[in-house]
Chain A
Amino acid sequence: MGLELLFLADKLSIFMACVSGFVGLLILIYSIGYISQYHGKAEFFGFMILFLASMMGLVFSANLLLMYIFWELTAFCSWRLIGFYRMEKDLWCADKAFIVTFLGASIMLAGLIMIYINYGTLNLYALKGVEVSNLIFVLMLAGIFSKSAQLPLSSWLPDAGVAPSPVTALLHAAVLVKIGVYAYARLFSTVFIVSESAKFWLLAVIMFSGLVAAVSALRENNIKRILAYSTISQLAYIFLGLIINSALAFGAALLYILVHSVGKAGLFLTAGIVEQKTHTKNLNQLGGLMKSIPLAAISFLLCAFSIIGLPPFGGFFSKFYVILAAASAGHTVLAALGIITAFVTLLYLIRLFDGIFLGEVKTPLKGKVPATMNSVVLTCGVISLFIGIFVRYPLNFINSIIIALGK
């Protein structure tokens, strides 16, 4: 029935696997220090590893049904991980995340069935160059939007911030939300062909979603919810690049995946340190932590600059190339929207930094920060900077992906 155990390791999937594997590793190292004071370590690490493994399976799948199986496996893992603390509210958030992503995935399954009925196969090799109808496109997008948290299926992501911070970093920043992005890159940028009019509307929805998420981050006071909204808004840029799908745009989107994974993981993990050591996530109750955790503050600032998109950090190149590609493709208004969203990003990330690290101390730090946690966040910050300074090396690899895909 269309299911074959068919795996494919081309440069695109290797790139995805490397990025998510590397960031996943960093997060696991961080978790050693983080999770040591809670019960259920075995469950935690078990599900984390299973999650990463299914991510690996997903990026290498060359069969749509196989991909779907791994897709749901990640949803299952994230369901258990979000509700890790087993509080009443946490469980509801976990259920909500599961229900929304499952709903999206089920609609996507309908799309898969239609593809199977129309073309008789779910093998990605065989489907290459097929022009799919708008209906199938929309059905598949429901799955992608729910996983990558774009409007109108985005509201589970901020709520899922109740999870332990390494989980949020893994889910929100590095891996889970990138599944939808990867699926789009794999299916609609390289395999299927979609109509231009559908793409136009998609672009409008995506950029609107990015702007709404960015301004929502300005209104939140919970540090992890702010970062979650930031993720939604940054993913919009990746989609912008992928949907425009010129060589420049596609490359920029891939670079964006790398930069955003590292930068946002660093932000979430720093927020994790703050949350664990002060027992509060409320921005109004935080402040003045610069003196007590200077390393975390510097790492936070480095990652934040990268996410905002200021040179010479990696985020500048990805954001600038995406916007340049949009302007070159004639989408000047979208390019302007992208810059406005970037400005809002500057506002809320600086507000977050000022709120946590500057001003007077409101909640003092309890306990020492383990060296593993500090070194991981610092690594994220430094890598964010180095991607920008040595941008040639990631760009070389991305160029070879683009050439291999024949763009």
Chain B
Amino acid sequence: MDISLFFTIFSWILGGLVLVYSILFAQKRKEGLPYFLYALLTLICASGAFLADNFIAFLVYWGSLLILLYAMIGLGSFKTATRALIMVGIGDFCLILGVAYLIAVSGNISINNFTPLATDNALNISAFLLIAVGAMIKAGIFGFHGWIVEAAETNPSTTMAFLPASLDKFLGIYLLVRTCKDFFVVNDVLSVIVMAIGALTVLLAVLMALVQHDFKKLLAFHAVSQVGYMVLGIASGTLIGIAGGLFHMLNHTIYKTCLFLNAGNIEYRIGETELSKLGGLSKLMPITFIGTVVASLSISGVPPFNGFASKWMIYQGLLGSGAGWVSVFKIVFLVMAMFGSVLTLASFMKVLYSAFIGDKPKELPSDIKEVPLLMQLPILMLALLCIILGVFANSLMIKPFLEPLVGAKIEYLGSWMPDTATVLIVLSLLAGAMVYSLSRAAFRTTGNFIGGEKLEDSRVLGTDFYLSVQDIKPLKAFYHIAQVGGFDVSKHLTVITNVSSYVLFYAVDRSINFITDGIGKLVFVVSAGFKKVHSGLLDRYVAWLLLGFVLLIGVYLKCLNCM
């Protein structure tokens, strides 16, 4: 299967599910028409970008997506939209320059018939880095993530599920795969640089996610952190890593879309996604609960869900071949990625506890109902996909799609057969249940109590518990920097631009203006002298005339003498 087609088909499936969900959701928010217009145009332009065989056509579609992103985020807040425009705009401008270099070097504008360039001279290397950075910014790496988090506050869940969760990932990863596989032969140093970006993204973003207490913002940080895995896999340069990166991209769009839609359910029914104000929703909104559990386990990489299947492939890619020093780096990145997975699970435990399992706060009305069927369906389908793609990863995804894409058979180092494993997991769960029911253990439910005394308002906030992470010594500095925006690369770039603009403005522009003004004033000073002569009095003019006449006569006489 062609890689362009793969991305096109799956982007329409995912995008379509979100749009089906949005039908009822958008009705309530009364922004239906522009939302659906921008969403469909986004899907069309994204397909154009995937299918384009010409670099310039590709850039046109890709750039149009930036404008649509601006318009779509602008439905929520133009302030966020401006931030998104600047951040993603940096990536787009990098990409445009990179493509210009690429065409200038190769003279080839066909994407599909492109002969990969060696990354052995400065121009090729800068072209690679520019395009890769453009792709990664689109996908949303740490450092250019500010707009995603801000949009989580200002925009509805459907927009989040549509753009940062699914389409932006499709686009960024498509370009990154093309860059690493079809446009360039990536050398070891560049590969390690890109992988380092990926590994740092995994770890830093998940640390940020850990302390979020808003469901949507937490998901936004995970949307950033998961990009790291994809980048890691693709930049590893091994076939299984690239296939794993692609698979993880697809899986991510499935479970992250599912999670955002679940957040959308809560937003739809309660109008609030602040975790500390939620609780006890598992009984009131069972479908939402199930969807969230499945997707949370998927994103954390718990077998046999799909997140595990793809992460496992990425880890395999990292463990694969490589020169001595490269493999050392790869092991470090592997450890970082695994640690990231652990923290992901931790942060989703918080979500499950705070929103669904923990006690219901008093302010929450007790007549909260599950969302309408039309909104449940996409969630159920996505949750089902999480399970199916995990259990039958080999037969449904790797063999028919991923092996043709990378053009080779994918071999694991160890043996992992998800379908067999699932049977074993289910069997052991059943065995556990049997032991439990046979043992007839007695239990009772009770409220929280301290020293035997019951507490009246004893809700334990999951969010507060996780906030204590911020007090750990080395992390304290990290969170402080994050708080003041130290990780926002686009902010630094803007500040640098502003500072240099002061220098250039005063040192060059204003000083030249000063000199020009001086010359202009000089003209007036000189002409003021002549002005005095022109007094408008007839006798003066006659005097000047006579004087001139006398002078002329004098010159004439002198010349006569000379001859």
Binding site for B on A (CB under 8 A): 92, 95-96, 99-100, 103, 151-156, 211-213, 215-216, 218-219, 305, 310-312, 316, 320, 323-324, 326-328, 332, 335-336, 339, 342-344, 346-347, 350, 354, 358, 388
B505 and A215 contact, CB distance less than 8 A: yes
Q: How far is the CA of A339 from the CA of B134 in the complex (A)?
A: 13
The reply to whether the CB of B10 lies closer than 8 angstroms to some CB of chain A is no
B78 x A347 contact (CB < 8 A): no
Q: Given A323-B96, A358-B78, are A96 and B63 also a contact pair (CB < 8 Å)?
A: no
Q: Which residues of A contact B103 (CB under 8 A)?
A: 324, 327-328
Nearest-Cβ distance from residue B389 to partner chain A, whole angstroms: 34
B67→A305 contact, CB < 8 A: yes
Instruction: Choose among B61, B100, B123, B512 the residue that contacts A152 (Cβ–Cβ < 8 A).
Output: B512
| A92-B517 Cα distance, complex, nearest whole Å | 10
Residues of A within 8 Å of B520, CB to CB, are 92, 95-96, 99-100
Whole-angstrom distance between the Cβ of B94 and the nearest chain A Cβ? 8
Q: Is B93 an interface residue, CB under 8 A from the partner?
A: yes
- Which one, B28-36, B81-89, B294-302, B329-337, is touching chain A? B81-89
Contact B67 A344 (CB under 8 A): no
Do the beta carbons of B101 and A218 come within 8 Å of each other? no
Could you tell me the dominant secondary structure of chain B's interface residues? helix
Query: Is B423 among interface residues, defined by CB-CB distance under 8 A?
Result: no
Taking CB atoms and an 8 Å cut-off, the chain B residues in 479-508 that contact chain A are: 494, 497-498, 500-502, 504-505, 508
Interface pair A310/B63, CB less than 8 Å apart = yes
Docked Cα-Cα span, A100 to B521, in Å, equals: 12
- What are 20 A-B pairs with beta-carbon distances under 8 A? A100-B520, A103-B519, A151-B512, A155-B513, A155-B517, A212-B504, A215-B500, A216-B501, A218-B497, A310-B89, A310-B92, A311-B59, A327-B101, A332-B104, A332-B123, A335-B100, A339-B97, A346-B85, A346-B86, A350-B82
**What mask results when residues 88 to 124 of chain B are scored 1 for a CB within 8 Å of chain A, else 0?**
0110111011001101100000000000000000010
Please determine whether B504 and A211 come into contact, CB atoms closer than 8 angstroms: yes
* A103, chain B: closest CB distance, angstroms: 8
Asked whether any CB of chain A lies closer than 8 Å to the CB of B174, the reply is no
Whole-angstrom distance between the alpha carbons of A153 and B512 in the complex? Answer: 8
Docked complex: B511-552 residues within 8 A CB-CB of A: 512-513, 515-517, 519-520, 523-524
Q: Is A347's CB under 8 angstroms from B86's CB? A: yes
Whether A328 contacts B512 by the Cβ 8 Å rule is no
Q: Which chain B residues border A92 with CB–CB below 8 Å?
A: 520
Per the bound structure, the CA–CA distance linking A100 and B513 in Å amounts to 11
Greatest chain B CB density within 10 A among A212, A215, A219, A316 is at: A215
Tell me whether A336 and B97 are in contact in the complex, defined as CB-CB below 8 angstroms, given that A100-B516, A154-B512, A155-B509 are known contacts: yes
CB neighbours (8 Å) of B79 from chain A are: 354, 358
Q: Given B90, B498, B501, which contacts A343 in the complex, CB threshold below 8 Å?
A: B90
A312 touches B64 (CB 8 A): yes
CB within 8 Å: A-B pair count: 121
Interface residues on B, range: 35 or more
Asked if B519 and A328 make an inter-chain contact with CB atoms under 8 angstroms apart, the answer reads no
Is the pair B508, A151 in contact by a Cβ cutoff of 8 Å? Answer: yes
Known: A335-B100, A354-B78. A215 touches B93 (CB 8 A): no
Contacts of B82 in A (CB 8 A): 350, 354
Contacts of A152 in B (CB 8 A): 512, 515-516
CB nearest to A229 among chain B residues: B509
Closest 8 CB pairs of A and B: A311-B63, A215-B501, A327-B104, A155-B513, A311-B60, A328-B104, A339-B97, A219-B505
**B63–A155 CB distance below 8 A:** no
Residue pair B89, A346 in contact (C-beta under 8 Å): yes
Cα–Cα, bound, A326→B515 (Å): 32
Docked CA distance A22–B8 (Å): 42
Asked if B221 is at the interface of the complex by the 8 Å CB criterion, the answer is: no
Given A211-B504, A212-B504, A216-B504: A155 and B67 interface contact (C-beta under 8 Å):
no
State whether B100 touches A312 (Cβ < 8 A).
Answer: no
- B62 beta carbon closer than 8 Å to chain A: yes
| New contact pairs (12) apart from A211-B504, A350-B82, CB-CB < 8 Å | A96-B520, A103-B519, A212-B504, A213-B509, A215-B497, A310-B92, A316-B60, A336-B97, A343-B89, A344-B497, A354-B78, A354-B82
